[in-house]
Amino acid sequence: MSTTPGLPSRRGVLRAAAAAGAVGLAGGRAVADGAAPELPAGLTAHRSPYVNWAGEIAHPGLWTCAPRTAAEVVDLANWAHAEGWRLRPRGKAHTWSPLTITPGTAPDAPVLLVDTTAHLTATELVTPPAGAPGAVRAQTGVTLETLMGFLAEHGLGVTNTPAPGELTLGGTLAIDAHGTSVPADGEAPRPGHTYGSLSNLVLAVTAVVWDEASGAYALRTFERGTDPECDALAAHLGRSFVVEVVLQAGEESAMRCVSRVDVPADELFAAPGSPEAAGGRTFADFVAAGGRVETIWFAFTDRPWLKVWSLSPERPATSRPVLGPYNYPFSDLVPTPVSRLAGRLLAEGAWYLAPTLGALQYTVAATGLTATLAGDLWGASHHLMFYLRPTTLRETANGYAILTRRADVQRVIAEFAGFYRERLEAWAAAGRFPVNGQVEIRVGGLDQPTDVAAPGARPPLLSVVRPHPDHPEFDCAVWVDVLTLPGTPGAAEFYRELERFCLATFDGGHALTRVEWSKGWAYTETAAWADREVVGTVVPGSYGAGQWAEGTETLRRLDPHGVFGNAFLDDLTAHRG
């Protein structure tokens, strides 16, 4: 937890949540008179707070249990079914959306958080199928940093991971977490790897599901390419409880990561064919060169922080070797000037300082890269892919994946960036500053079944980067998200403008918008996940006829009593598309 002065800490969020309403002591047969629920033999419950990444979904204390084995998760499921409770898997709570608990969850709600991180963390190598150099069996409470370190010890790795290594495997698979990669020009696909999401590496899933024959919940393993249920469970949005998976892996490789802060946004995000695009320094140009690109564009600045990763078996002479992850300390620990300024925005409501905060964040990045010799790094891929610690600035975020053709990547980015900048400037001219963080843009591949070493494999049904059956020409996705401090006035309204633009502009012609499960979406002018048209029609419709229905109906069939769910998931998965 960051202890930087001036910023809201997770502890502070908890105090605020507790002040809003004391923990209730009733709520079901098992909690009468304030007693802890009577769980199956050998299991105990304790009160534990829940706070998501930005502190916008918080609860001062829900009953929590840490099962030691998968069999104990089954016991909990059958107990919850009998007692009318619901189970919510709990990992590291590094999420924005209400997939674990919903805002306003009652103090006495019959909800049991199931902590997977205490015991369900085992990993072991298993015999890989033909076509994959390696495979690993892992329980879902293990963190990605631990899992990738284990694979690297055996010469194995993956192409894509999110930037934070503290995420649990179960959480990342539930929302088909991604990195940023497509093949660089001339780069050949590597066996065992995928340019899509982590969910596309799944070979088998062991989950707690309803067994009709026995009339009880039980463990069952589903094989990719053989059991169609696996295609729903590989990215289940939190509507199931997966305890273990088998993932394929490829050979680990060394990479180089070069950071730059000298390319103007006008050039990096230039429209194809424009004079600004002629210099060979557009986002698409960097993708062609390295295949793995991210830009962090601080609000009201004109030079983004550009990162380009590339495969590099040998260390370039100019690159500094690294021996571990998190090599940008200036962004991992919030510098005092940034924290003080952000604190003024939050404490004093000085939102007009957003341009000053953006300029300061750019300066910190630019000077930090030089001061820490972090502008040109080389090392093991998993060391370079993990670069975000939990101590960084906590911001809220929206998120979308815009499916398109590789040839149209620059067009999509130019259209999005142009609209974002125009609206941000228009709002500022009116004296309103809804964004004080940054825009993050990445490009990744889709979940192609040809990447999977399991005959008959299909893409995960509910993966955001599942290929669209009506658009075989779409072969990649532009990931965009916009971050701002929690509580910023007008943020939801501004996000709604962006969302409406994306849905109207990228509507299936040259590109198609899908929402990113872990982020904010379905905005009204005051709240996320609240636009009924987006939740009920747009989201299901973005997956193509039959795909959404098959995925959600499979999840309901595997858990017909709704033990693994909440009100938001009930609503989302009730729609047939």
Annotated catalytic sites, by residue?
94, 294, 440, 442
Find the angle CA(361)-CA(256)-CA(150) to the nearest 5 degrees.
Answer: 100
**Which among 246, 192, 179, 256 has a CA at the least distance from the CA of 476?**
179
Pairing of strands 156-157, 305-311: unpaired
The answer to whether the CB of 353 falls within 8 A of the CB of 341 is yes
Provide the 8-state DSSP code for 507: B
Tokens read off for 106:
């009652």
Residue 128 has a CB neighbour count (10 Å cut-off) of 21
The answer to whether the CB of 95 falls within 8 A of the CB of 168 is no
Say whether 532 sits in a helix, a strand or coil: helix
The answer to whether the CB of 427 falls within 8 A of the CB of 494 is yes
The answer to whether the CB of 118 falls within 8 A of the CB of 64 is no
Using CA atoms, how far residue 135 sits from 81, 159, 384, 520, in Å, is 34, 14, 22, 33
Strands, DSSP E only, in 212-348?
Answer: 216-223, 241-251, 254-260, 292-298, 305-311, 320-321
Three-class DSSP labels, 319-369: CEECCCCCCCHHHHCCCHHHHHHHHHHHHHCCHHHHHHHHHHHHHHHHHHH
Q: Which residues of 153-175 are buried (b: 16+ CB within 10 A; e: fewer)?
A: eeebbbbbbbbbbbbbbbbbbbb
Cβ-proximal residues to 450 (8 Å cutoff; 6+ apart), any chain: none
The answer to whether the CB of 83 falls within 8 A of the CB of 28 is yes
**Which among 315, 297, 329, 296 has a CA at the least distance from the CA of 377?**
315
- Amino acid occupying residue 276: E
Which phi-psi region, left, alpha or beta, contains residue 123 (left: φ > 0; alpha: ψ -120 to 50)? Answer: beta
The full length of the chain comes to 577
Tokens read off for 571:
């609503």
**Which among 361, 388, 324, 420 has a CA at the least distance from the CA of 179?**
388
Pairing of strands 376-380, 320-321: parallel
